[in-house]
Amino acid sequence: MQDESTSRLNWVRTSRGIQIGIPGRRSGAVALYAPLIVIWAVLATIHYWHLLGPDRPTGREFTLQLIAIALYAVGFCFFVCWLAWALTSDTLLTLDPTELKIQRRVMGIEVTTRCFQPGDARRLRYVPPIRARRDKNSINPTSSKLVFQVHGKVYIIASGVTEHEAGAIIGWMQSVHTFAS
């Protein structure tokens, strides 16, 4: 059963456990930075367009401009990767009696996978969001975390989850395995 407070989450019972899909929390930075970077790329393209024509400069000036174009190209590649991560990242949590697996995915493609034995996992808990640095009255919702410990080291299951979502995830996980304190 799923209520509105957990409607972002996708979960299914498997034959031996549970599988939970947790989408990444989208921040307002995407709406602000994405158009700015697109405008920056268009302006850079217009500025350096003359280098593709027959009347291009030579010598050191041309070399420096080619270096600038290369830096713009690298920056644009980082932007595309960041945008893909910001818009399509998710976490797939699979828990059964023998394995706790956390997969990070971007555009549905597995980026990283961590596997643990459920018996080693302890202190499953929700870490509430922290206050934003500039405005002490505002809370940064992307800073909340769902974490657990294995051999004293803290691992993050998901970031940017609400307290209700974390409660639901913890409840679903506890239905498969009881985590020690």
C-alpha dihedral over 46, 52, 55, 58, to 10 degrees?
Answer: 100
pLDDT value at residue 137 = 67
Residue with the two structure tokens 């009881």:
178
**Does the CA dihedral 30-32-37-42 come out positive or negative?**
positive
Query: Does position 60 have pLDDT exceeding 50, yes or no?
Result: yes
What tens digit of pLDDT does each residue of 82-98 get? 888 888 889 999 999 99
Q: Taking the model in full, what pTM does it have?
A: 0.74
pLDDT digits (tens, 9 = 90+) for 120-168: 999 999 998 877 666 666 666 778 899 999 999 999 999 888 889 999 9
User: What's the mean pLDDT when you consider all of the chain?
Assistant: 84
Q: How confident is the model at residue 4 (pLDDT cuts 50, 70, 90)?
A: very low
Exposure string (b/e) for 101-132, b if CB count within 10 Å is 16 or more? Answer: ebbbbbeeeeeeeeebebeebeebebeebeee
pLDDT band per the 50, 70, 90 thresholds, residue 1: very low
Q: What is the pLDDT of residue 2?
A: 46
